[in-house]
Amino acid sequence: NAGVMQNPRHLVRRRGQEARLRCSPVKGHSHVYWYRQLPEEGLKFMVYLQKENIIDESGMPKERFSAEFPKEGPSILRIQQVVRGDSAAYFCASSPEIYTDTQYFGPGTRLTVL
Amino acid sequence: QKEVEQNSGPLSVPEGAIASLNCTYSDRGSQSFFWYRQYSGKSPELIMSIYSNGDKEDGRFTAQLNKASQYVSLLIRDSQPSDSATYLCAINAGNNRKLIWGLGTSLAVNP
């Protein structure tokens, strides 16, 4: 079975552009989590989504960031008008419908803002 | 504020020794406990989960949970240089699936 897939693996944007990060969870998983990790820092929770619903977005910056997980297709983390401080690794994790809080991580997207 | 605390390290052990990694947490209602390993530049990978007090063994890894003292530890026996990584402790203390993460302990196993 394929694990969590993220694309692109590396993304370069200039200040003011938009960044779209995609996450396809493990087949059959309906819960998705997004994390951000700055160089040499810990994982920071951003948002937890279930199909078509945002469950917890307490870690999302109030402006410029949004996330969705539609009924069909991957989860999308969208960053509008990127700034240099958005440069980080963004990880997606998923967990299955049957109750378990174990999360399985994708390889991450490395965003660089020039 | 629910918190998970880990010593940042680096923890340095010689090859073949036992590495002991510790994690304390603040919420007594915590139910699920996880250890993840993260190599530099890579994503976290699950090593072990533990839900009940006591020890849980998986190969060279043993997780130990003590809910009364609010700590969870990870022992790595016969440490290998390939075990050199950052070890992350994560805990679910609530009713949803959101995990609270420690900042990680850096482990260096010296040949």
Residue B1 pLDDT: 64
The pLDDT of residue A1 is above 60 = no
**Which chain A residues contact residue B45 at CB under 8 A?**
105
Q: What is the pLDDT of residues A49-60, one digit of tens each?
A: 998 899 999 999
* Residue B5 pLDDT class (50, 70, 90 cuts): very high
Judge: A48–B96 Cβ closer than 8 Å, yes or no. Answer: yes
Residue A96 pLDDT: 84
Nearest Cα of chain B lies from the Cα of A44 at a distance, in angstroms, of 8
Mean per-residue pLDDT over chain A, rounded: 93
d(CA A82, CA A65): 9
Residue A98 pLDDT: 66
Residue A102 pLDDT: 86
Range with the poorest average pLDDT among A51-55, A96-100, A101-105, B72-76: A96-100
Judge: A48–B103 Cβ closer than 8 Å, yes or no. Answer: no
Q: Which chain B residue shows the shortest CA-CA distance from A44? A: B101
Residue A114 pLDDT: 96
* Residue A42 pLDDT class (50, 70, 90 cuts): confident
Q: Which of A31, A42, A107 has the CB atom closest to B97's CB atom? A: A31
Judge: A56–B98 Cβ closer than 8 Å, yes or no. Answer: yes
Q: What is the pLDDT of residues B38-96, one digit of tens each?
A: 999 999 999 999 999 999 999 999 999 999 999 999 999 999 999 999 999 999 877 67
Q: Average of pLDDT values for B25-50?
A: 93
Q: What is the pLDDT of residues A58-90, one digit of tens each?
A: 999 999 999 999 988 999 999 999 999 999 999
Residue A112 pLDDT: 97
The pLDDT of residue B107 is above 90 = yes
Which residue stretches of chain B are H helix? none
The residue type found at A97 is E
Instruction: Output the 3-class SS for chain A.
Output: CCCCEEECCEEEECCCCCEEEEEECCCCEEEEEEEEECCCCCEEEEEEEECCEEEECCCCCCCCEEEECCCCCCEEEEECCCCHHHCEEEEEEEEECCCCCCCEECCCEEEEEC
Q: Which of B96, B97, B101 has the CB atom closest to A42's CB atom? A: B101
Judge: B88–A42 Cβ closer than 8 Å, yes or no. Answer: yes
**Which chain B residues contact residue A60 at CB under 8 A?**
none
Residue B76 pLDDT: 98
Task: State whether residue B107 is helix, strand or coil.
Answer: strand
